Structure 1
Amino acid sequence: MNRSLMKLGVPIGVVGILMLLVVPVPVFLLDLLIIVNILLALVILLTTMFVKRPLDFSVFPSLLLVATLFRLGLNVASTRLILGDGHAGQVIEAFGHVTVGGSLVIGAVIFLILVVIQFVVVTKGAERVAEVGARFTLDAMPGKQMAIDADLNAGLITDTQARERRAEVSAEADFYGAMDGASKFVKGDAIAGIIIIIINIVGGISMGMLQRGMSIGEALSTYGLLTIGDGLVTQIPALLMAVSTGMIVTRSNAASDMGSTASSQLGQSRVALRIAGGAAIVMGFIPGMPILAFLAVGGVLLVLAQRIKANDDDGAAASAGEVETAPSTDSTEDLLEQMRVHALEIMLAPDLVDVVSGASDDLLGRVRALRRKIAVELGVVVPPVRTRDNLELPPSTYVIRIAGVEAGRGQAPRGKVLALGDNLASLPGTATVEPVFGLAGKWVPAELRHNAEMSGATVIDRVSVLVTHLSAVITGNAARLLTREDVRVLTDGVRAVNPSAVEELTPGLLSLAEVQRVLQGLLAEQIPINDLARIYEALTLRAKSSTDPEGLVEAARQALGPALTAQYLDGGLLRVIMIDPLLEQSMLEGLRPSEQGTQILLDANRTERILASVKDAVSRAESTGQNAVLVCAPALRPAIRRLVAGQSSGLPVLSYSEVTSANVTIETVGVVRVAETIAS
């Protein structure tokens, strides 16, 4: 029942506001509604101070419209009573006589001051902030969506969390867009208040002189005070709503309410409070100054400074306590442990060891999530990642090593976030290049995160940068990370659910070493091996006729054909680049086996023209926003893949049998022809 009443409360209230515009209300009801109006504005103002994020008060734009309409309805109702009865209730009379001392001049001056404060200062600033916030929020939406996709791909968030974050980004854009329009309500309300005051004074004087026989002074005193009281009654809640608007559009996302955040940030520097307290005491000795007041304020500031622990001291102590020391023993076990080559390592500069402290940006927890994600997507059990400090690394530097060899290096400065975008010139910080995608960025102080987002930049915390880099390194080196022991464990897992697929294959047809080589060949082309049962069945059929590693890899690929093709589909459509039949035939005739696999024997000039034609076809497809794959005869696929790998990085090469094994629609977007290259 209560929920039903709450749902009907707002619609009934809006209808009641509309009734105020046309139906006269008694004096006692007008007093009650005026009190409700003032308290509603006060509640809204206090709510904006206690919310942690602007989106926590997402109903504010609609509430602002309702409150503005409510005040205008009260203006119409009070005007009807003032002009008709010469009396508009106790609240308006109190504001007209008690608040301004019964002086029309004082009341007019106070009203004008309130109008100037609201219209020129608060409303104008809030309108500008809302407009800029809406524009920057909309500009930053694509970057924020990319950041969510990057976190999802890195395994840092789940699908459900990604959907929630996308919905939050969309809600944020809608909120600031609504605030941009809602700020116009506040501006219009201020203008309407001035116009209504003028109309009431002119109408009141006319009513008093023409219908009640008053002199102009008597009419001005009677109706002028009532009009000023009416203006103050509505202008004070209007000013509160204007302040609320400015408060909500200038708030940034924080972990606490405004009061807690302000007190913690204003008191973060002991030195600042000491200087302010000393300045207050010195100013008190200026001749004519109230020395007791200055001494009291200065003393309070100095006492607060003594009770606050400086953040700089905390940071220095934490840094000193977090740096790990190297083991001092030289026992055989310790030396063997230091000599052992680990499959995967993250080396951190001493000032970066705080990322493994177990805080909210805990690196170890993010790495565990990444290992789970890669295991599900690629079918590879990533070895445990050893994380330790290295005193030889430059400050803020991390290194990712595979089998003791550096595979990636980057920076993650403490207390900073990475801003990616085109409009970073106005932000202070150190320019850099994002290590995975090569995007230009800048490390900016974490305190300026909101400023960077407002400028349209995509902001990524330093742990996300490191984990994304680690994900790219692991994915690109998955074949190197797959050990013989991993293959044994994976094979035992398949044996538990599908024993026939394993028992027929190994050790009778292929050894674990040969199976490992096939799986590494698949991973080298970023092909998941999580469907091991199907892969083993294909290897069993192929191994009965040949154990050539390249042929085994192609047999496994063909078994996975539908899955391989699916990742390149665009709504059921596969865009392909073909090879001219005559050129393909000549390449088949030049196919020769070698120790590294089959190769195509072509002269250097002809090879160069083929690669140029492939590059041209890929460029034409990308210029139209299309992603295409290169298809060829099954016998040519391994050789062509090795041929174009160095020139067209990331270009997938599929065979006809892999493409036709999936029920897809094929669209040819390019043809590789040597003759076209010559003509061009």
Structure 2
Amino acid sequence: MMRNPMFAVPLAALKGNALPVAILLLVMLMIVPVPTMLLDVGFIANIMISLAVVMVAMNVAKPLDFSSFPTVLLLATIFRLALNVASTRVVLVDGHNGPAAAGHVIEAFGAFLIGGDYIVGLFVFAVLMIINLVVITKGAGRVSEVSARFTLDALPGKQMAIDADLNAGLLTPDEAKARRQEVSTEADFYGSMDGASKFVKGDAIASLLILFVNIFGGLILGMVSHGLSFSEAAQIYIMLAVGDALVAQVPALLLSIAAAAIVTRVSSPLDLAGQISSQFGFSRAWGPVAGILTLLGMVPAMPQLVLLPAAAVAGAIYWTLRKAERAPVRVVEPITDTGPSHLIEWHEVADIAPIKLELGYGLVSLVDERKGAALMGRVTAIRRQLSREFGFVMPMVKVADDLSLPGNAYQIRISGVLVGEDQAWANELLALDSGDCLEGLTGRAVKDPSFGLDALWIAERDRTDAVAAGYTVVDPATVIATHLNQLVSTSAAELFGMDDAQALINNLKESYPQLAAGLTPVPYTLAAVTTLCRALLAERVPLRDFRRIAEAMVDLAPRNLEMNELVEAVRQRLGGLIVQTIVPVKMPLPAITFDSALESLLVQSVQSAPQASWPFEPELARRIISVIDAAVQPMLVAARSFAIITSPLCRAAVGRLLRAQYSDVAVLSFLEIPETKKVEVIAVVGGTGPLAEPAATDAPQDIGDTYVD
């Protein structure tokens, strides 16, 4: 059935004006007398609205999902006060006609809930007032005040964090805009809740005052205007006043509970019931409960018929949770046939995750959300740190269990290649030996998977003894995460693809559109940009300042350089950034250089085969690594940062030669060092004859003195 377009505009106008019209009706309800039938409908509607608000508050995952709550609380409070005013008028005007004069709802509350005894009603109302005003409302108001203060204090820091993520390329502009809007909405919400909590408190006080008005006004009117005795007036008017107060107090108590539930919520993917049940789902919490209830049930004076069944229920919960915790957690993705042909889909055979962490069944508890998922939080922190360090968004890490692995084993795969594996124990700690630790600690002797240090897997109860003996103690989640961090950081070039290069270019377009237009698709294709970025990442040169990289590529485009030559030329433009990743700006650069004779030999080898990836003869390469090792080892043992400096012609070849042996050692050409940077030559390797041992020197030297044409 088609809607007549002539009614579309009036319906839209009616919908848009519904709320203002409703507020005007509430104001009229306070002024214009209403029949008791309409008053009964209003009381039921008030209770229904209060119940709906409580249900919504209990089922939201985070407070911002019910961002309209402060306004809803205001409107519900006005509605309830309007009903109080209307009912007060009816009680005072027609109360002498009997309990039914103010409507059936007030009569029912007065007769059923308090048994027709107005003294009991006064005490019941007093108890409800104490619960609402002193306990719930006061606590919710304090939480709202503290939450508003902390949220507003944290607002500048959150805005700065969003800007930092945007500058690092971790967020798109649209995502950053949405995050800013969410932060602003959160601040507005908690500020509004701080004020809305005063509505609840004021409503409770208003209910008390209205009760006194109804009682004293009814007594005076009953005795003066209607000729009733004091006892008759008290029986009628106090009963009606208490019934009216209880009708208003029950919805007020519900809204107070809803407000307290909202302001005390912590953001979670689960609703309130799911969040509480997940956090109470630990067997070790229910075992002592069952035991204590059983002991209390054995005391002769205790009610065994109540305590022992309660102990049995707690014991059943403990047994069920314990059984579930001991069962191995395995997520099985069902494969469903879509038809009689039983087709195999691509997602069943392809694994597109660039980074994959596979765990044995004994390590699954490290990613169990019920136990805190310690490993997942560290993996996310690693991705964020590496993304900021290298300047592009690291792909997500797929964590999965593998029943083919031994229980305590784990494997790390990058682009499908197994790059690391080791063992960890979920319920133990790894104590790292720094070399001067005291003896006497017992445990499972291993090598640290990340740094190769001697270590022991020890029980958690031995942590204090290990720390006192000089060991560095880390938990298994940190051990696996550190190993993952080391392997991923050395494989940044393999994880960078054309989509990442396009993301860098798109980000460049937003701030420097002309530069981006001059970079691609002419003179450089997307593939060429990707290749250059991967070459820089292979030698741990970050892409954070992609603008400078793009400017260098555009400036060098007229020279039509080969890719290897282009990489070296771009590195020279980024020299200051590269050196800054090695040593701080105020410190001189420790350098290991080659003797002039060895330098000439290296240059000749490269010039004889300029396009070869390995221009050095095997014997020469072996001897180079040997003399470099003698100079590098003292620096590695002392944990000092340094660089190997050589000629621009052979820098790339020397870097490839040493990368497998010393992946963390930077190989620079002297053209990559800024003119203002001081260089401290700590060793010179090589000699005029057979390659000599390195000769160390402590005096800072000008790098130009080492290379003379």
**TM-score scaled by structure 1?**
0.55
Instruction: Please tell me the residue identity of whatever aligns with 2:306.
Output: A
Matches within 5 A, 1:407-418: none
Within the candidate set 258, 268, 290, 2:303 is matched to: 290
Within the candidate set 222, 236, 240, 2:250 is matched to: 236
Q: Does 1:19 align with 2:28?
A: yes
Matches within 5 A, 1:85-234: 85-86=94-95, 87-152=101-166, 155-234=169-248
Within the candidate set 281, 296, 312, 1:299 is matched to: 312
Partners of 2:557 and 2:82 lie apart in 1 by 79
Partners of 2:157 and 2:524 lie apart in 1 by 49
Matches within 5 A, 1:245-324: 245-266=259-280, 268-309=281-322, 313=326
SS in 2 for 1:643: coil
1:147 to 1:465, Cα distance in 2 relative to 1, 3 A: farther
Within the candidate set 76, 82, 85, 1:73 is matched to: 82
- Deviation (angstroms), 1:6: 5.2
Partners of 2:673 and 2:384 lie apart in 1 by 37
Partners of 1:88 and 1:530 lie apart in 2 by 81
Indicate if the aligned counterparts of 1:52 and 1:257 stay in contact, CA closer than 8 A: yes
- Deviation (angstroms), 1:467: 9.7
Q: Percent sequence identity over matched residues?
A: 38
Indicate if the aligned counterparts of 2:450 and 2:483 stay in contact, CA closer than 8 A: no
Deviations 1:167-207 (CA, angstroms, capped at 9, x unpaired): 22221121111111110100111111111111111111111
Indicate if the aligned counterparts of 2:450 and 2:486 stay in contact, CA closer than 8 A: no
Deviations 1:491-513 (CA, angstroms, capped at 9, x unpaired): xxx999557999xxxxxxxxx99
Indicate if the aligned counterparts of 2:118 and 2:235 stay in contact, CA closer than 8 A: yes
- Deviation (angstroms), 1:240: 0.6
Matches within 5 A, 1:570-649: 642-643=676-677
Matches within 5 A, 1:419-438: none
Partners of 2:228 and 2:289 lie apart in 1 by 59
Instruction: Please tell me the residue identity of whatever aligns with 2:210.
Output: I
Deviations 1:31-63 (CA, angstroms, capped at 9, x unpaired): 100110011111111111111111111111110
Partners of 1:548 and 1:36 lie apart in 2 by 76
- Deviation (angstroms), 1:265: 2.0
Q: Does 1:42 align with 2:74?
A: no
Indicate if the aligned counterparts of 2:102 and 2:240 stay in contact, CA closer than 8 A: yes
Instruction: Please tell me the residue identity of whatever aligns with 2:57.
Output: T
Within the candidate set 554, 571, 576, 1:534 is matched to: 554
What does residue 10 of structure 1 align with? Answer: 19
Indicate if the aligned counterparts of 1:96 and 1:107 stay in contact, CA closer than 8 A: yes
Deviations 1:425-479 (CA, angstroms, capped at 9, x unpaired): xxxxxxxxxxxxxxxxxx99x9xxxxxxxxxxxxxx99999999999x689x99x
Q: Does 1:388 align with 2:397?
A: no
Instruction: Please tell me the residue identity of whatever aligns with 1:95.
Output: F
Partners of 2:37 and 2:55 lie apart in 1 by 27
Indicate if the aligned counterparts of 2:47 and 2:251 stay in contact, CA closer than 8 A: yes
SS in 2 for 1:21: helix
Partners of 1:549 and 1:187 lie apart in 2 by 69
Indicate if the aligned counterparts of 1:498 and 1:533 stay in contact, CA closer than 8 A: no
Within the candidate set 33, 58, 73, 1:64 is matched to: 73
Partners of 1:406 and 1:115 lie apart in 2 by 63
Partners of 2:520 and 2:66 lie apart in 1 by 54
1:501 to 1:232, Cα distance in 2 relative to 1, 3 A: closer
What does residue 608 of structure 2 align with? Answer: none
Indicate if the aligned counterparts of 1:367 and 1:467 stay in contact, CA closer than 8 A: no
1:531 to 1:549, Cα distance in 2 relative to 1, 3 A: closer
Matches within 5 A, 1:433-512: 498=522
Deviations 1:199-222 (CA, angstroms, capped at 9, x unpaired): 111111111111111112211111
Partners of 1:198 and 1:645 lie apart in 2 by 88
What does residue 417 of structure 1 align with? Answer: none
Indicate if the aligned counterparts of 1:538 and 1:555 stay in contact, CA closer than 8 A: no
Indicate if the aligned counterparts of 2:110 and 2:121 stay in contact, CA closer than 8 A: yes
1:643 to 1:96, Cα distance in 2 relative to 1, 3 A: same
1:522 to 1:124, Cα distance in 2 relative to 1, 3 A: closer
Instruction: Please tell me the residue identity of whatever aligns with 1:77.
Output: A
- Deviation (angstroms), 1:554: 10
1:533 to 1:88, Cα distance in 2 relative to 1, 3 A: same
What is the aligned-residue RMSD (CA, Å)? 5.8
1:45 to 1:295, Cα distance in 2 relative to 1, 3 A: same
Within the candidate set 42, 51, 69, 1:33 is matched to: 42
1:535 to 1:79, Cα distance in 2 relative to 1, 3 A: same
Instruction: Please tell me the residue identity of whatever aligns with 1:28.
Output: M
1:54 to 1:498, Cα distance in 2 relative to 1, 3 A: closer
- Deviation (angstroms), 1:538: 4.5
Within the candidate set 84, 88, 96, 2:93 is matched to: 84
Partners of 1:500 and 1:112 lie apart in 2 by 80
Partners of 1:198 and 1:58 lie apart in 2 by 36
Partners of 2:130 and 2:544 lie apart in 1 by 68
1:357 to 1:161, Cα distance in 2 relative to 1, 3 A: farther
Partners of 2:271 and 2:55 lie apart in 1 by 11
Partners of 1:189 and 1:536 lie apart in 2 by 74
Count of matched residue positions in the alignment of Structure 1 and Structure 2? 469
Instruction: Please tell me the residue identity of whatever aligns with 2:48.
Output: L
SS in 1 for 2:46: helix
Partners of 1:119 and 1:462 lie apart in 2 by 51
RCO higher in 1 or 2 (8 Å CA, sep ≥ 6)? Answer: 1
1:555 to 1:202, Cα distance in 2 relative to 1, 3 A: same
Structure 1: any 5+ residue segments left out of the alignment? 320-343, 399-404, 410-442, 447-460, 487-493, 503-511, 558-563, 565-593, 596-636, 647-680
**TM-score scaled by structure 2?**
0.53
Partners of 2:380 and 2:167 lie apart in 1 by 18
The more displaced of 388-397 and 10-19 is 388-397
SS in 1 for 2:302: coil
Indicate if the aligned counterparts of 2:169 and 2:392 stay in contact, CA closer than 8 A: no
Indicate if the aligned counterparts of 2:203 and 2:252 stay in contact, CA closer than 8 A: yes
Partners of 2:32 and 2:130 lie apart in 1 by 32
